[in-house]
Chain A
Amino acid sequence: MKPKASNHLWAEIGRLKSQLSEANDTLDAIRTGQIDALVVNGDNGHALYTLKTADHAYRVFIEQMTEGAVTLNSSGLIIYTNSQFARMVGKYQSGVLGSKFIRYVSADHKSTFQELFDRGWRENAKREITIVAGESHIPVLLSLNALQLEDELALSLIVTDLSIQKENERQLRISNEQLENLNKALISSNHDLQQFASVASHDLQEPLRKIQVFSRFLKDRNFHELSEEQRHYVEKIILSSQRMKVLIIDILNYSRLSAEDGHFVSVNLQHLFGEIADDFDLKISEKNAIIEIGELPSIEGNKGQLRQVFHNLMSNALKFTSPERIPHIVIRKKDYNAKEFGVSLSQDETYCNISISDNGIGFDEQFATSIFSLFEKLNPKSAFEGSGIGLAIAKKIVDKHRGLIIARSKMGEGSEFNIILPLQQQK
Chain B
Amino acid sequence: MTIRNVILVEDDPDDRDLFATFLGKRRDVHLLPTVTNGVELIQYLELSSDAELPHLIVLDQNMPMMNGKQTLQYLRSTGRYAKIPTVIYSTYADSSLVVDCKSLGAKMVASKPIDDKGYQKMMDDFLQII
Contacts and interface: CB of A to CB of B under 8 A. Distances in A.
B46 interface: no
A402 B92 CA distance: 32
B92 A205 contact: yes
B65 to A, nearest CB: 15
Contact of B91 (A202, A217, A221): A202
B92 A201 contact: yes
A206 B115 contact: no
Interface string A381-412: 00000000000000000000000000000000
Contact of B62 (A206, A213, A216): A206
Interface in A162-210: 201-202, 205-206, 209-210
Nearest to B113: A213
A220 interface: yes
| Interface range for A | 10 to 19
Given A206-B62, A209-B112, A217-B115, 13 more contacts: A201-B92, A201-B94, A202-B62, A202-B92, A205-B91, A206-B12, A209-B114, A210-B14, A213-B14, A213-B18, A213-B113, A213-B115, A216-B116
Nearest to B67: A202
Contacts of B92: 201-202, 205
Interface in B81-109: 91-92, 94
A220 B115 contact: yes
A212 interface: yes
A217 B92 CA distance: 20
A216 B91 contact: no
26 contacts: A201-B92, A201-B94, A202-B62, A202-B91, A205-B92, A206-B12, A206-B62, A206-B91, A209-B91, A209-B112, A209-B114, A210-B14, A212-B114, A212-B115, A213-B14, A213-B113, A213-B114, A213-B115, A216-B114, A216-B115, A216-B116, A217-B115, A217-B116, A220-B115, A220-B116, A221-B116
B70 to A, nearest CB: 15
B28 to A, nearest CB: 26
Contacts of B62: 202, 206
A213 B91 CA distance: 12
**Count class of interface residues, chain B:** 10 to 19
Which of A201, A213, A221 is most buried by chain B, counting CB atoms within 10 A of its CB? A213
Nearest to A211: B114
Contacts of A205: 91-92
Nearest to A256: B94
Contacts of B114: 209, 212-213, 216
The listed residue with most B CB atoms (<10 A of its CB), out of A202, A209, A212, is A209
Interface string A310-334: 0000000000000000000000000
Contacts of B94: 201
Contacts of B113: 213
A200 to B, nearest CB: 9
B34 to A, nearest CB: 17
Nearest to A216: B115
A209 B111 CA distance: 11
Interface in A342-387: none
B9 to A, nearest CB: 16
Interface in A208-229: 209-210, 212-213, 216-217, 220-221
Contacts of A201: 92, 94
Nearest to B96: A256
Contacts of B115: 212-213, 216-217, 220
B12 to A, nearest CB: 7
Nearest to B116: A220
A202 B115 CA distance: 19
B14 to A, nearest CB: 6
Contacts of B18: 213
Contacts of A213: 14, 18, 113-115
A235 to B, nearest CB: 14
Contacts of A220: 115-116
A202 B91 CA distance: 7
